DNA sequence: TACGATACGGACCGCGGGTCCGCTTACGGG
DNA sequence: CCCGTAAGCGGACCCGCGGTCCGTATCGTA
């Protein structure tokens, strides 16, 4: 019944964990489709036995989640405690587009990962993932501060849906839309939605 | 080099095809997750050998596509040649929300199918499917008719993203949002986006 | 009725996620 | 410094699923 002290892992275990994450990131980044990279591939690339993957991460989606969260952390911190326009203390009308732009940029920079995560099989809907919930709560909270809006929970979902990994991949990859153009379009879309809701009184 | 006459299939083949579609629809409808129903299950439920599935539909995604297109056809027809507010000849500002509502309702009524299709594995992005392209073209074309809008291709994607099957499933299933409320929220969202762009001049 | 073409079905295969168990290695106490 | 032990390792192994093959049954026709 002690507080149990949470024994820290052995040194080699930690080293292996890092090796696996690095190898997985690399493989996902260099392969066409996320499901083209198998667990055995990752284990081999990391110079490690397959069981080590499963012991360390539970299963395939656990591994992907761990990778994703690791890459996401800087963004999370910037949102929770960073300077404007991302951090708190930014006026809502600027923070909403800033949040969405951050999400979009993250997905552009980590297309392979986001894709691997969101297409991980429908057994775990992307909407039940912790990071989605964080983003949704944050966005909704900011929307609440803008007067004249309703149904902010839905609105937040709908806005985030515009940054879905496979859509981003389709537009940036298949349709070759340049990064800056995509960002501009999302910004314009957001602006139109927030509209003259509190900006310019008629 | 003849026009090849496209020999019609044998009677039992046609019957089996229908049996398979019916069985698959039923299984997808009654199972938790789309990937819980295997090809062998479908074959068994249809009283047919596995090879018959693959001969008739190519592969798993082919079968799901066939099912989806079959269920979708009435909606397609209503959009292409039906009466207002869905059909052509409707004023754009009413037709956009009508189109989105039709998509939403279809996905609500066919949650299992839409989910099965969109989570069919990332090898085939939902954005490369024929039906998505149809919807996107239609929606974009209608948006073009509304003055004061830009980036209509992106806007159409973003609006359609709000009706993604897994989002709909999450809201209607997990969050228990009632059907009419969802429809109203999507309508409000759309209306806000189209805003006073041509509705009410200040 | 007889015969070719078409379709059938279930045994079979390969592959990938996940597990098991005998061996190795880190690390704290003597 | 060495030893005991438990945490960690690895790859052979298992299982289930998508997809194929081929001998057999059925349809449609003359």
Give the pLDDT band of residue B119 (cuts 50, 70, 90): confident
Q: Cα(A144)–Cα(A153) distance, rounded to whole angstroms?
A: 9
Contact between B150 and A174 using a beta-carbon 8 Å cutoff: no
Length B15 CA → D12 C1' (Å): 46
- The residue written with tokens 């009283």 in the block is B47
Interchain CB contact of A38 with B (< 8 Å): no
Q: Which two tokens stand for residue B136?
A: 């996107």
Q: Mind listing the pLDDT tens digit for each residue in A158-198?
A: 999 999 999 999 999 999 999 999 999 999 999 999 986 54
- Alpha helices (H) along chain B: 11-30, 39-46, 50-57, 60-81, 92-109, 111-118, 130-144, 152-161, 165-169, 179-194
Mean of all residue pLDDT scores within chain B: 92
Q: Is the CB of B66 under 7 A from strand D?
A: no
Q: What pLDDT score was predicted for residue B4?
A: 46
Average pLDDT estimate for B38-55: 97
Give the pLDDT band of residue B5 (cuts 50, 70, 90): low
Of A121, A169, A189, the CB nearest to B125: A169
Length A92 CA → D8 C1' (Å): 50
pTM of the model: 0.93
Contact between B158 and A189 using a beta-carbon 8 Å cutoff: yes
pLDDT at B198 over 60: no
Q: Cα(B192)–Cα(A174) distance, rounded to whole angstroms?
A: 30
Which residues make Cβ contacts (< 8 Å) with residue B60, sequence separation at least 6? Answer: B39, B120
Q: Which residue has the higher pLDDT, B124 or A141?
A: A141
DSSP codes joined into one string, A117-128: HHTS-TTS-GGG
Q: What pLDDT score was predicted for residue A179?
A: 98
Average pLDDT estimate for A54-78: 96
Interchain CB contact of A81 with B (< 8 Å): no
Interchain CB contact of B64 with A (< 8 Å): no
Q: Mind listing the pLDDT tens digit for each residue in B24-45?
A: 999 999 998 999 999 999 999 9
Contact between A33 and B122 using a beta-carbon 8 Å cutoff: yes
Q: Which residues of A touch B33 (CB under 8 A)?
A: 122-123
Q: Is the CB of A40 under 7 A from strand C?
A: yes
- C-alpha dist (Å) from residue B134 to B14, B58, B124, B157: 28, 23, 17, 12
Phi-psi region of A133 (alpha: psi -120 to 50; beta: other; left: phi over 0): alpha
Length A15 CA → C27 C1' (Å): 16
Closest residue on chain B to A186 (Cα): B154
pLDDT at B2 over 60: no
Q: Mind listing the pLDDT tens digit for each residue in B142-177?
A: 999 999 999 999 999 999 999 999 999 999 999 999
Contact between A189 and B115 using a beta-carbon 8 Å cutoff: no
Q: Cα(B10)–Cα(B17) distance, rounded to whole angstroms?
A: 11
Q: What pLDDT score was predicted for residue A176?
A: 97
Q: Which residue has the higher pLDDT, A198 or A69?
A: A69
Judge whether B155 and A189 are in contact, CB under 8 Å.
yes
Q: What pLDDT score was predicted for residue B1?
A: 41
Q: Mind listing the pLDDT tens digit for each residue in A98-149?
A: 999 999 999 999 999 999 998 776 667 889 999 999 999 999 999 999 999 9
Which residues make Cβ contacts (< 8 Å) with residue A182, sequence separation at least 6? Answer: A104, A108, A168, A171, A172, B154
Q: Mind listing the pLDDT tens digit for each residue in A21-37?
A: 999 999 999 998 999 99
């Amino acid at each position: 019944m002690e507080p149990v002290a949470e024994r820290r892992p052995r040194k080699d275990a930690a080293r292996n964990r890092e090796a696996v994450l690095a190898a997985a990131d690399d493989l996902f980044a260099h392969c066409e489709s996320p499901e083209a990279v198998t667990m055995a591939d990752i284990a081999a690339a990391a110079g490690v036995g397959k069981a080590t993957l499963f012991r360390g991460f539970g299963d395939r989606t656990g591994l992907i989640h761990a990778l994703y969260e690791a890459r996401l952390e800087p963004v999370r911190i910037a949102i929770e405690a960073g300077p404007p326009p991302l951090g708190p203390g930014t006026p809502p009308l600027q923070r909403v587009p800033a949040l969405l732009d951050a999400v979009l940029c993250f997905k552009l920079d980590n297309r392979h990962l986001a894709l691997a995560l969101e297409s991980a099989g429908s057994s775990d809907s992307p909407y039940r993932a912790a990071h989605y919930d964080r983003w949704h709560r944050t966005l909704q909270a900011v929307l609440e501060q803008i007067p004249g809006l309703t149904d902010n929970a839905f609105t937040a979902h709908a806005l985030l849906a515009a940054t879905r990994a496979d859509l981003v991949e389709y537009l940036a990859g298949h349709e070759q839309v340049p990064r800056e153009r995509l960002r501009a379009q999302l910004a314009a879309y957001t602006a139109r939605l927030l509209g003259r809701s509190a900006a310019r009184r008629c």
